[in-house]
Amino acid sequence: QVQLVESGGGLVQPGGSLRLSCAASGIIFSISTMGWYRQAPGKERELVATISSGYGTNLVDSVKGRFTISRDNARNSVYLQMNSLKFEDTAVYYCNAVQIGKSYWGQGTQVTDH
């Protein structure tokens, strides 16, 4: 059974920082592409960042220079360091894993910038 468990969300003031974590189980983490998505109220879920099994990263333009995605294969975990948070970053953040064409999702963690 695949489980992706996010943590680290919360309330933060504009300009603040948060670090999201996602612990994975039930997948071969080292060969999986991991990602973070977010969904704001009334909007569709959107990609924030991905990191491949080879540690290649991709971030959407709106978070470049502010967010960093990383992974620790020894801990089966992926992280999203979010700095200089803005009001428009408020959303539920979801962890995603893609392994051999199958996609898995976590339950999400709320990030609120107020």
Tokens of 65: 């220079």
Per-residue pLDDT reduced to its tens digit, 17-36? 999 999 999 999 999 999 99
Q: What is the mean pLDDT of residues 59-79?
A: 98
**Is residue 86 helix, strand or coil?**
coil
Q: What residues contact residue 1 under an 8 Å CB cut-off, 6+ apart?
A: 25, 26
Give the pLDDT band (50/70/90) at residue 96: very high
Q: What pLDDT shows up at residue 19?
A: 98
Calculate what percentage of the chain has a pLDDT beyond 70: 100
Q: Is the pLDDT of residue 107 over 90?
A: yes
